[in-house]
Structure 1
């Protein structure tokens, strides 16, 4: 991991936010269409994107 650019910044304090949550931004090249990609939010991280969680439960 010596050739990877990292971005670090303090997160603003938000009510009901997840404690000790590490957010990761990943860029990659793919031949897949956007609708073929499934973003995975594990356990309590699902609260970060309730709009996507509702689609998973439908």
Structure 2
């Protein structure tokens, strides 16, 4: 016995659909935050080297 939630979807699926999964959403935002921090550190280090 299958419910309608188990049935495969017909039609296009949104690109945002994976964010409906809580574990994926948490990991995605954690990685985004980590990347932003890395970019800020890289820009800061380059700025320091050019200014020094």
Tell me whether the two structures share a fold, i.e. TM-score over 0.5: no
User: Which structure has the larger Rg over C-alpha atoms?
Assistant: 2
TM-score (norm 2): 0.22
Q: Greater share of helix residues, 1 or 2?
A: 2
Structure having greater relative contact order (Cα 8 Å, sep ≥ 6)? 1
